[in-house]
Amino acid sequence: MSHQRIEHFIKSLLQNKDDGPCIEWPFSRFKNGYGSMYFNKKTKTASSVVCELVYGKAPTAFHECAHSCHNKPCVRPSHLRWATHLENAKDQQTSIKDSRFKLTLNQAAEIRCSSLSQKELASKYNISIVQVSYILNNKVWK
Ligand SMILES: [Zn+2]
Give ranges for CATH 3.90.75 in the chain. 3-91
Instruction: Summarize the confidence of residues 34-51 as an average pLDDT.
Output: 92
Tell me how far apart the alpha carbons of residues 129 and 113 are, in angstroms, rounded to a whole number.
16
Q: What is the pLDDT of residue 24?
A: 96
- Residue 30 CA, ligand 1 centroid: distance in Å: 17
Is the per-residue pLDDT at 100 higher than 50?
no
**Residues within 5 A (CB) of ion ligand 1:** 22, 69, 71, 74, 76, 79
Q: What class has domain 3-91?
A: alpha beta
Q: What is the pLDDT of residues 102-122, one digit of tens each?
A: 677 778 888 888 889 989 988
DSSP code string of 4-16: HHHHHHHHHHHT-
Residue 112 DSSP SS3: helix
Q: What is the pLDDT of residue 96?
A: 42
- Residue 15 CA, ligand 1 centroid: distance in Å: 16
- Residue 20 CA, ligand 1 centroid: distance in Å: 8
pTM for the full model?
0.62
- Residue 45 CA, ligand 1 centroid: distance in Å: 15
Q: What is the pLDDT of residues 56-94, one digit of tens each?
A: 999 998 899 999 898 999 999 999 999 987 777 776 554
- Residue 76 CA, ligand 1 centroid: distance in Å: 6
Share of the chain above pLDDT 70, in %: 86
- Residue 2 CA, ligand 1 centroid: distance in Å: 24
